[in-house]
Amino acid sequence: MMRLIVTGADGALGTAVVRRFVDAGCRVAALHGSDAEAAPADGRFVAGDLADEDNAARVIDMASAWLGGLDGFVHLVGGFAWQPATTARLADWRAMFEANLATAVASVAAALPHIAEGGAIVFVGAQSAEPAGAGFGPYGAAKAGVARLTEALAVELAPRRIRVNAVLPAIIDTPRNRADMPDADPAAWTSPDAVADAIAFLISPAARAVNGARVPVTNAA
């Protein structure tokens, strides 16, 4: 039975990912951004600010102890804002860095001591960052940092046989995206369940030969 930590577990994608792993018989520690329903007794933990190294270490240590070890780590926490590079302030770039890259760096650093040899890590990048278009400068730069983190860790952790990959979704069909883009056609978007399937594959032994990949997950599904 695989033991996994999933951050951002209370979002639309996080809910689909946790359900996918639980249905497969995995033991999952779900890190929630809100404390509304989080209770360690049933595997839900209050994440707090995962860009804060001390907080990330505390909650991930606690979740790993509850699991009794760690075979996989899935980092879904992030944030998006449409901001033209011509008008974005430095604070806007920093906000995207904190939400997307800083949370990934602090969280994976806290998880690494617990991940067993042969384990797997999956991050979420963004297809819109490769390349970044108008309005995607700060967000794309932060997600590009996640891509470089993925590539570097894949090499550095190879001696421990820990694989590190990332999925690159386009627009995910979530209630928030539907509200933010009421005139768009969600039939062209990707469902959270489809993205969850790709993440589950990359974590699984079936992807044992895949390391350092950035996998586009962009088909309507």
Choose among 110, 23, 40: nearest CA to 75.
Answer: 110
Choose among 1, 32, 8: nearest CA to 100.
Answer: 8
Choose among 20, 29, 10: nearest CA to 198.
Answer: 20
- Kindly give the pairing relationship between strand 163-169 and strand 214-217: parallel
Annotation says 139 is catalytic: yes
Do 87 and 74 meet the contact criterion of CB atoms below 8 Å apart? no
Q: Work out whether the CA dihedral 99, 8, 15, 221 comes out positive or negative.
A: positive
Determine if the peptide bond prior to 131 is cis (ω within 30°): yes
Please give the Cα distance from 185 to 96 (Å, whole number): 26
Which pair of tokens denotes residue 103?
């949370």
Which of these is catalytic: 21, 45, 139, 189?
139
List of residues 6+ apart from 178 with CB closer than 8 A:
186
Catalytic residue numbers, as ranges: 139
